[in-house]
A and B are shown apart, each in its own frame.
Chain A
Amino acid sequence: MRPPFIAIALLSGTALSYEILLIRLFSIIQWHHFAYMVISLSLLGYGASGAFLTLAGKRFSHHFPAVFMTNALLFAISSVAGFLCVQQIPFNPLEMAWGSHQLFYLLLLYLLLSVPFFAVANCIGLTLVSFTKNIPRIYSCDLLGAGLGALAIIILLFLVSPVTALYIIGSAGLLSAAVAMFECRIQPRWIVALLLFSGLSLPFVLHQWSPLLQLSPYKSLRQTLAVVGTEIVAERSSPLGFLTVVQSPVIPFRQAPGLSLNAPCEPPAQLAVFTDGEGLSVITENDNRQDSFTYMDYLTSALPYHLLSRPSVLVLGAGGGADVLQARYFAADRIDAVELNPQVADLVKHTFKDFAGDLYRAENIHLHIDEARSFVAGGKRKYDLIQLALLDAFSASSAGLYALSESYVYTTEALIEYIDHLHPNGLLAITRWIKLPPRDALKLFATAVAALEEMGVQEPGRRLILIRSWKTSTLLIKNGMLTPQDIRELQKFCQKRSFDLAYYPGIGVAEANRYNLLDRPYFFAGTAAILDREQREDFFSRYKFNLKPATDDRPYFFHFFKWSSLAELLSLRAKGGLPLLEQGYLLLIVTLIQAIPASLLFILLPLWFGGTIVGHRRPTPSHATSIRSERWWVVTYFFSLGIAFLFIEIAFIQKFILFLGHPLYAVGVVIAGFLLFAGWGSNFCSRQPSLHLPVAGITIIALLYLNLLPTIFHHLLRLPDPLKIFISLGLIAPLAFCMGMPFPLGLTRLTNRAPELLPWAWGINGCASVISAILATLGATHFGFSAVVIFAVGFYILAAVVYPREI
């Protein structure tokens, strides 16, 4: 019998697609960071499979086709049924901080969602154990399949809704079972036909029954739909998000972030656009009458228009068009609007064209579908004003949910890029939500100071303005010195709207805390300390939140958490201090805290039961000896590889995001590239049995890339997208090719020394992969992505060191 290579590739690809889809589905019904935790832990199904196969491996090997088929079917059924059951569990992550039975629900989620991964890992692990001579090729199919799966799910999510994608994944599971039967030549053939028929008809059958996604009742969309008269008028789905457009004719939306209390009017009718049931943005009715938009002059973001006359404007993050309307209200000469999500732009441009007054077809408005940073870096045009819109939702932002979301639009390098694209005396305006004690506004101010200093500006303070309303702050960075006329306009603007001046060159403390009174003039004191080079570092270290500027290597603008403040913040939790705890970061720690003992359990379990290993009811001296003599290198080697592979993959996704522009391109190209070329490398290693060559290759290429990639990207940034994708794959190929070899080489070596430990090694690698994804993010937060790559190289070298000689 030959191994079911195609079925392995199919299953592996389907499992990776399922993993990505689950993150999408959970982001819709819950929140993104909880999705990350739940799915990370569920992936421990791979580790559990390792322990399971170690304890029962040979018994199953004897019945390979039946066990393989059973697990393939288990994957197909549990992938669909598991998620449908999960929707019935009343899990509310927002209550977790208050301590309740939510932990029980969480455990149920883990168990339900880990079953499909457990089943797939059983299929692959069992094939590796049963066909030891074909290890490189089996692993190669596993990687190739996963690479294609990563691409397939991204394409699929553009074509169908996430729920339909779930059914298609279930059906792919059934087809994999049919293919496996065919490859293993199992009789009777009518079962193959039945599986094929079931697989092909499943999406259509389930689609008829299609239950709706049950969003958490605490998501903005659900709460909005509870209001009388609200109605969903459009839905769009893509890998970038699930968009829901809601109209509320009875009780209108009045989205105007931080509107002055002195505003004489309210916004016109609006349609709400929710992304994944959160992140409210609006499409505003545009009757093309100037007085309908007077309210736009009462937002902090209106300030730059009072310092400039008929500017050319670049709006980064156009969304529903609010900032474009504002630019138009102030008679901007030319408006370039950049929006990442084509479906959002399409809503304004086509679906609600009349409502939006055909906004994006106006003569001086130019819409670009692109990522903000990439658009700026790739263009030569300069502007009088670059407006960086308020892109994130207030509630999620205030809870620190974005703490571990990489953002390349607020880094020091990004600000330099924006300023480079300003005309002399042009303005960069960035609006953020207000948090107390101040975080975003001060960190942004520090980033601006760092950017200006890096550009060689001697007195950054002469170019900066920071104002605040009760809910938003706006930072202005001028590409030139601020003039007394600018300051007079600024003071007039703030006075009329009761906005506070947080900083301008020459500000006095009495001016800083006049209208929106704070206990102390925190913003004034903070900006003063940041501008003072001698005080700055002391201020950063004494401030209880992390205010150090984000960089491209550590792109975590929203990461404000400091370990030194944890004890105090925890003690204040019930006294109104909960929002001060940054949930995104802490959840990652909680995920790690759960993953480590669970992994240890799966790794140690086979050792505890070592006596009954691989089907031998009583320990035999040879097996006991093999466990004793082999365990250390097996653990170290396969754990190191599990950590190192994902470290490099995750770090390079981040490195390529800036080059490929669109995060989806980066994720798709890098994951698929790494897995496909690693698969090729794995297949090749049967001809190249040495470990030292690939490890040397990984070390040299990875370290070389750390230094060369920024320069390469800088020079090739303006090339067309297809060419950039081709170049990216070319860059990934040699590194990934080498990375595909160590794992099958290790398994082959283990086959010669102690074949009964193969499934154990497979499980160790699975556990390490889960921990690796968490550690990579933590490492990048604290040390940067370059450091993550260096750590990965260290792990590869460690693996090479413990790799035993052939006996």
Chain B
Amino acid sequence: MIRFANITAIVFLILLFGPLSQAESVDKYAHLRANLIRQIENDVYATSSYLNKKKLGSRVMQAMATVPRHKFVPNRLIPYAYNNRPLPIGEGQTISQPYIVAIMTDLLKLKPSDVVLEIGTGSGYQAAVLAELAEQVYTIEIIEPLHKSATKRLADLGYSNVTTQLGDGYYGWLEQAPFDAIMVTAAAGQVPPPLIRQLKPGGRMIIPVGGAFMTQFLLLIEKRADGSVSTRQILPVRFVPLTGEH
């Protein structure tokens, strides 16, 4: 009887404080997210002369502040979800460093009416950020387990404007082309020409170049109104290679 009373008391306490603790955890993540956003803002300001801007677009920062990164990382890594660092997501893939995600997203200069293609869904985090900024996001993943988990995750979080596909990103998504912007977040040995063809005139494509856990430089491809293409190699950091130069 005593045992039964104990169990009842515990259940009661859980019922009483459960919602409170849940609310607390929501607050905790919001607070952590806000800290992360502040850190990104500070880092961007510190690297402003290289990025040619003192701050990133407010819509981009709002999207970064909205997407719950902790929902996109494995459970054991949730405590690190709002650290400004890349994290492993399984299958040898990573969720990018938030600072790099913010810069890459900003470089696309998205409008609310834009249609975006992403190559390399991964955890779905970048697609979610893009979905906050664009009308429609199409994303392709080459690794089946990642595709499945990201599709479910994005649906659970209510990102109805994201459509996922399993397959080869090299040929883009012809049925939905052309796109206002393309983001290639998977390792790219080369720039797939079909993707350039699926980019609208005036559109932008961004490719991070480097290995796992680090980005060497960003490749920004711009398609001019006349269809000609230019590329820009952007270092995501303020670093001048000669001393005495600024």
Contact = CB atoms under 8 A, between A and B. Distances in A.
Contact of A579 (B93, B192, B214): B214
B229 A498 contact: yes
A436 B237 CA distance: 11
B165 interface: no
A98 B84 CA distance: 9
Contact of B241 (A95, A266, A543, A564): A543
A437 B239 contact: yes
- Range for the number of chain A residues in contact with chain B: 35 or more
Interface stretch (B6-14, B24-32, B149-157, B205-213): B205-213
B231 A515 contact: yes
Contacts, number: 158
A398 B211 contact: yes
A470 B211 contact: no
Contacts of B233: 434, 436, 470, 516-518
B85 A395 contact: no
Interface residues of B, number: 57
A807 interface: no
Nearest to A217: B92
B99 A574 contact: yes
Nearest to B143: A226
A576 interface: yes
B78 interface: no
Contacts of B244: 542
Most chain A CB inside 10 Å of its own CB: which residue of B90, B167, B168, B211: B211
Contacts of A543: 241-243
B201 interface: no
A757 to B, nearest CB: 48
Interface string A243-279: 0000000110011111101010010000000000000
Given A217-B91, A436-B216, A266 B193 contact: yes
B190 A517 contact: no
Interface stretch (B42-50, B57-65, B131-139, B173-181): B42-50
Contact of B235 (A99, A259, A564, A576): A576
Contacts of B168: 250-251
A574 B210 contact: no
Contacts of A291: none
A578 interface: yes
A435 interface: yes
Interface string B207-246: 0011111111101010000000111111111110111100
Given A226-B143, A437-B239, A517-B232, A399 B88 contact: no
B88 A92 contact: yes
B195 to A, nearest CB: 10
Interface in A745-764: none
A580 B215 CA distance: 10
Interface in A543-584: 543-545, 564, 568-569, 572, 574-580
A95 B95 CA distance: 13
A218 B212 contact: yes
A254 B232 contact: no
B191 interface: yes
A517 B239 contact: no
Contacts of B209: 398, 471
B216 A544 contact: no
Contacts of A100: 80
A437 B235 contact: yes
Interface string A392-421: 001110110000000000000000000000
A100 B189 CA distance: 30
B34 interface: no
A577 to B, nearest CB: 4
B193 A574 contact: no
Contacts of B99: 574-576
Given A223-B92, A575-B237, A579-B210, A519 B189 contact: no
Contacts of B100: 576
Interface string B107-129: 00000000000000000000000
A226 B91 contact: yes
A399 B91 CA distance: 21
B56 interface: no
Interface in A564-611: 564, 568-569, 572, 574-580
A254 B190 contact: yes
Interface in B36-90: 43, 46-47, 50, 80, 84-86, 88, 90
Nearest to A526: B241
Nearest to B191: A261
A579 B143 CA distance: 26
Given A98-B86, A516-B233, A576 B91 contact: no
A575 B168 CA distance: 31
Contacts of A436: 216-217, 233, 235
A396 B143 contact: no
Nearest to B80: A100
Contacts of A802: none
Contact of A228 (B142, B193, B237, B242): B142
B18 to A, nearest CB: 30
B184 interface: no
B170 interface: yes
B231 A222 contact: no
A66 interface: no
A524 to B, nearest CB: 13
A572 B214 CA distance: 13
30 contacts: A94-B211, A99-B85, A216-B92, A226-B92, A228-B166, A251-B167, A251-B170, A254-B190, A256-B189, A261-B196, A263-B193, A399-B211, A399-B214, A436-B216, A437-B241, A498-B229, A515-B230, A516-B231, A518-B233, A519-B50, A543-B241, A544-B243, A572-B239, A574-B43, A574-B84, A574-B97, A576-B235, A578-B214, A579-B214, A580-B239
The 6 lowest CB-CB distance pairs between A and B, nearest first, are A576-B236, A395-B211, A217-B92, A437-B241, A576-B237, A577-B237
Given A254-B190, A576-B47, 18 more contacts: A95-B213, A97-B213, A217-B90, A223-B92, A227-B143, A255-B189, A261-B193, A395-B211, A470-B233, A515-B230, A516-B231, A517-B233, A542-B243, A543-B243, A572-B238, A575-B236, A576-B100, A580-B237
Interface of A: 92, 94-95, 97-100, 216-219, 222-223, 226-228, 250-251, 254-259, 261, 263, 266, 394-396, 398-399, 434-438, 470-471, 498, 515-519, 522, 539, 542-545, 564, 568-569, 572, 574-580
Interface of B: 43, 46-47, 50, 80, 84-86, 88, 90-93, 97, 99-100, 103, 142-144, 166-168, 170, 187, 189-193, 196, 209-217, 219, 221, 229-239, 241-244
